[in-house]
Amino acid sequence: MKSIRYINKKSKDKVTKVKSIALLKKIKLESITEEEYSSLPEDAEILMMRGMDRASMTDFLSELRKKGLSVNYKCIETETNKDWPISRLYEEIKSEHEAMQRKRTD
């Protein structure tokens, strides 16, 4: 089953928009616990996708872009990361994103 977990501690409006697109695309919304939420930095934003093939992931991300929405820290669930705490997942994605940004400016 296709699902997402989307956390944005800065913009409730963006959360509403992302979740409404997910619902239109018949993607289940997963929640996180208060403990997981509080383990993330105050400016955290992360999109985790689960059970999506390449076509459905591309379609969902494309729809976000059409609505002017972008999420820098996003991932698909893998065998490696599926049991990680959300704080570890966030830090890993953040590190990868920063490394890619540095590579682009080199």
Q: Quickly state the pLDDT bin for 105 (edges 50, 70, 90).
A: confident
Q: What is the pLDDT of residues 56-101, one digit of tens each?
A: 999 999 999 999 999 999 999 999 999 999 999 999 999 998 998 8
Domain borders along the chain are 3-105
pTM summary value: 0.91
Q: Which amino acid is at 7?
A: I
Structure-token match 């820098």, residue found: 72
List the 3-8 sheet strands across, edge first.
28-29, 3-8, 45-50, 74-76
